[in-house]
Amino acid sequence: MKLVFAGTPEVAVPALDALIASGRHEVAAVVTRPDAPAGRGRRLVASPVAERAEEAGIEVLKPVKPRDPEFLERLRAIAPDCCPVVAYGALLPRVALDVPVHGWVNLHFSLLPAWRGAAPVQHSIMAGDEITGASTFLIEEGLDSGPVYGTVTEEIRSTDTSGDLLTRLAFAGSGLLAATMDGIEDGTLKAVPQPAEGITVAPKITVEDAQVDWGTPALRVDRVVRGCTPAPGAWTVFRGERLKLIQVRPVPERTDLAPGALAVGKNSVHVGTASYAIELLWVQAQGKKPMKAADWARGVRIGEGETLGA
């Protein structure tokens, strides 16, 4: 088939690579978000998908909105058979959805209908799921509600951050997306409607969502930190300033600390929760670089009775 691939961040690159490498289909063009300011100089930088497409000599389209007339005209001229999508980042209007013969097929990082929305991996970790996966489905105008072509499953490990899990799913899902294109092309794969039961939603995680509540159990604190790492980054308050929590570890054997209470040892920093303690392993104070929590604690000289949290 002739394909137009839509995607933007680094997590979409493995799927683009898999389609280029398959040799069975032609990636005629890539659609991605416009260049965005990045770094201290805030200079405009192309998306990871745009950079990879340019390396491969593939035409890159960067519409401000996918309903822009110039973009739609070019899309119709290319006349793709199908448009595979991974984390493109913009809502596709009906006028664009109708262009390819076989529609737009999205690789979504959950086992649909679970965790429809922008942050499925983060929410699956924060909810304590043991299994997740990726799904390919035909995009409709509803939120991740279209019929599903295929899935792969992935175990969520007890130490996984959303970054760890998303990386594994990006590579597992790239094979699924390539296989989905093959099945659509040869007619062996049919999309199956999603069940009406088991629907959960995964809206974007905000900075406010990433604030740790020490009045919740240790398991919840651990899941919030892992689910919000690397972005937007879990945090708490110490002496009126934000302290980013990069890595923590539950300590079930310690139950003597009140929620938010700090206990500093020679090489350890423990914090109380509603159940048992959490050990801070890596933190980042405001305006500082990431550091081991024990080094941070020595530097700030935590006094008796000091706590974390609002």
Q: What is the pLDDT of residues 60-117, one digit of tens each?
A: 999 999 999 999 999 999 999 999 999 999 999 999 999 999 999 999 999 999 999 9
Does 169 carry a binding-site annotation?
Answer: no
Q: How far is it, in rounded angstroms, from Cα 49 to Cα 60?
A: 9
Does 112 carry a binding-site annotation?
Answer: yes
Render pLDDT for 182-215 as a digit per residue (tens, 0 to 9): 999 999 999 999 999 999 999 999 999 999 999 9
Q: Tell the burial category of 5 from Cβ atoms under 10 Å away from its Cβ (0-12, 13-18, 19+).
A: buried
pLDDT, position 38: 83
Closest CA to 125 of 113, 109, 137: 109
Q: What angle do CA 150, 61, 74 make, to 5 degrees?
A: 95
Structure tokens at 278: 């959490």
- Share of the chain residues as helix, strand and coil, in percent rounded to the nearest 5: 25, 30, 45
The β-bridge relationship of strands 59-61 and 26-31 is parallel
For 296-303, what is the mean pLDDT? 94
Q: What pTM was estimated for this model as a whole?
A: 0.94
Does 3 carry a binding-site annotation?
Answer: no
For 39-60, what is the mean pLDDT? 93
Checking if the pLDDT of 40 tops 90, the result is no
Do residues 14 and 174 make contact, with C-beta atoms less than 8 angstroms apart?
yes
Q: How far is it, in rounded angstroms, from Cα 51 to Cα 92?
A: 22
Render pLDDT for 244-257 as a digit per residue (tens, 0 to 9): 999 999 999 999 99
Residues with Cβ within 8 Å of residue 208, at least 6 apart in sequence: none
Percent of the chain topping pLDDT 70: 100
Query: Can you list the domains of the chain with their CATH numbers?
Result: 2-186 (3.40.50.170), 207-300 (3.10.25.10)
Does 111 carry a binding-site annotation?
Answer: yes
